[in-house]
Structure 1
Amino acid sequence: MAFESKKKQISKSLQETLKEVTTPSAVETFERTKQYQFTLQPSVREKIDSLAKEKGYRSASSFINDYFKNL
């Protein structure tokens, strides 16, 4: 043969990867979002929007959600 079969190595590597992906720490529980209304000063809202954009979030609400989730 012109090359060595690495089927066993590939299989082992895939199994290890699957174990890492399916560990409980990697799986988050899904929680639906619900709308809430808050009153903010316009300058505060601008700062939140700016921070969210700076950190790469698609929206201010997703930024705020992650921020408080990680407190």
Structure 2
Amino acid sequence: MKDGVDAKSDVRLGTPSKDADGHSSVRVTVSNTATSKKSFAVQADVRDTGGNLLDSSGPHPRSPPWFSGRRTA
């Protein structure tokens, strides 16, 4: 992201699993460790054991900044 800050230490990923539709899913938790209100955008890349990129999922460009929801890769 342009003018973004690397906040990897504030993001935790849960254990990947399959949802009811058979899509890969993982819970993402972001902790705001700043003393002021912040916005976060998270991109999750799915890689095989060889490190090859299989899929990528991030915020939808039309999602409002307060959006809290689910994206599947």
Q: Return the TM-score normalized by structure 2.
A: 0.25
Structure number with the higher helix fraction is 1
Q: Return the TM-score normalized by structure 1.
A: 0.25
Structure number with the higher strand fraction is 2
**Higher CA-based Rg:** 1
